[in-house]
Each structure stands twice: as C-alpha cells, then as structure tokens.
Amino acid sequence: MRTIPAVSFFLALSGCMALPGMEGGSTPSLSVIQDEFDGSTIVRQEVVNSSSSVAEGWHALGFEWRQKTPEIVFITAGTNGTATITDLAFNADGEIINRIKPSTASTDYGWVSTRQFAMSWQDFLKITSAKSVKMKVIHLNDYTVSSFGPAHSGTVVNSRIAPFVEKVRELRARR
C-alpha cells in the first residue's frame, strides 16, 4: 500500500519538472554571437516554453536574427514528444500570419521535437507587438495550438521577446 502514495508523489513531482533550460531561472536568455565563418553577428533566443496553459498544446519557441539576412527572422518551433512538424502559423490579434517557410529539411526529434522556419522581420514584429498570439504547430496528420503575449501572463516566452526585438533593432540601425 505504501507503493501507491510513493508512485503518486514521484509522478506529481516529475510533472512539475521541466526540461533543463525550459523554465524559470534556468531558462536560457538572449545571446549575441559572431558567426565563426565570416564574423557576422547573430542574435539568438534559445527555445523556451511558449504555452500559457496546460490545457493547450505544449509548445516551445525560439528565434534568431542574422546580420547576413537582416529582413528574415528564423523561428524554431517545438512540441513535446516525437512529432513531424510540417508547418507553422500565427494568429496575432486576429491577423493570420502564415507566410512562414521551413528553413530546415526536417524535424529534429527528441523529447521536444523542433523545426526551424523563416519569416519576414515585418511579420515577426506583428507577432511581437500583438496582445494575444495563437501559435499553430502543424504535424503530419493534425495540429496543436498554444497562446502567448501580454494577454496570457506567465508564459516564459513573453519575457524573452522584448530584449530580442530591442537588440535586433539596435543592430539593424547600425547598418
């Protein structure tokens, strides 16, 4: 009989734990790096949790801007488990943004499956300035939806957007 409470405790505990680097104080922050090949600047926000509720699809989101392609932002979208990610779309305050193209040949599989996409800087700014954003991660036979933005407090990615946009704007102004 002692086994059931112990198992329940550890299951509850593991449900509260997150993948390292995905939650709280250990969440990776913004990094500015130099491309080893040509010395150009890259601004990167590593993938963090982007779902506002456990009732939604569990998603992760990261973004990257490269000095070599200043009008493009690379978006890394992820979902839990092994899932082939085929497409990505956003609903930013009612505006559907689906002019997003895969920039990698396939999904990277693991506990979190991710795929990188490319979108315009202008479309990215629409997403980052919206009060409510719905992210649709499309898999082979279905899709999941999550929410972030100021209307969805507590979402980890919310605190990562402004520093990224600020740094990219600063670097774009130097061009």
The pLDDT score that the predictor gives to residue 15 is: 38
Cα–Cα distance, 166 to 160 (Å, whole number): 11
Tell me the two tokens of residue 34.
């130099």
Q: What pLDDT is stored for residue 121 in this prediction?
A: 98
| Tens digit of each residue's pLDDT (9 = 90 or more) over 149-169 | 999 988 999 999 999 999 999
φ/ψ of residue 78, rounded to 5: -140, 160
CA gap 120, 53 in Å, rounded: 28
What pLDDT was estimated at residue 114? Answer: 97
C-alpha–C-alpha distance, residues 82 and 105, integer Å:
16
Task: Tell me what pLDDT residue 28 has.
Answer: 61
Q: Which CATH architecture has domain 31-173?
A: Sandwich (2.60)
Distance CA 107, CA 110 (A): 10
Q: Are 88 and 144 in contact (CB under 8 A)?
A: no
The per-residue pLDDT for 55 is: 79
Q: What is the pLDDT of residues 17-71, one digit of tens each?
A: 344 334 444 446 899 999 999 999 999 999 999 988 887 889 999 999 999 999 9
CA proximity to 99, closest of 79, 124, 134: 124
pTM of the model as a whole: 0.82
Q: How much is the pLDDT for 19?
A: 41
pLDDT in tens, 110-143: 889 999 999 999 999 999 999 999 999 999 999 9
Distance CA 149, CA 171 (A): 24
